[in-house]
Amino acid sequence: MEDRVLVTGRRKSSVARVFMRPGSGKLLVNGRDLKAYFKREVLVIAALEPLASTETKDRFDVDAVVVGGGLTGQAGALRHGLARALLLHDVQSRPLLKRGGYLTRDPRCVERKKYGQPKARKRFQYSKR
């Protein structure tokens, strides 16, 4: 096999398996073009932040398989996976990626619903009489 790496990125309940190899900058997510998959420009920018900060957007071909959650979580998982893959290709980029916060897995997720309440924190209306 060539110089291809497989890395996992996570965010909320989404998991992204990122296959990265040196190439011309082709980006595929679940077999579709990145911009066709993440229809909102904000999500495309968020997903590509590690490549933009290290200025390696046109140096790698990325093929990602993303499952679970919604589009925002999937974009975050892809961002985490891309940062980890860049780290394996070039260890010198670690300070840049660390400073941007791309290597840290975002631990925030949906809080569970509690019994006796309509939602996680919302309470039923209190009736004094």
26: domain CATH number?
A: 3.30.230.10
Query: Per the structure, how many domains does the chain have?
Result: 1
In a domain, residue 27? The reply is yes
The pTM for the full model equals: 0.90
1-57 pLDDT, tens digit per residue, is 468 899 999 999 999 999 999 999 899 999 999 999 999 999 999 999 999 999 998
Q: What are phi and psi of 73, to 5 degrees?
A: -65, -35
Q: CA of 94: how far to CAs of 21, 85, 87, in Å?
A: 18, 11, 6
pLDDT of residue 2: 65
In a domain, residue 86? The reply is yes
In a domain, residue 117? The reply is no
Domain that holds residue 64: 5-100
In a domain, residue 93? The reply is yes
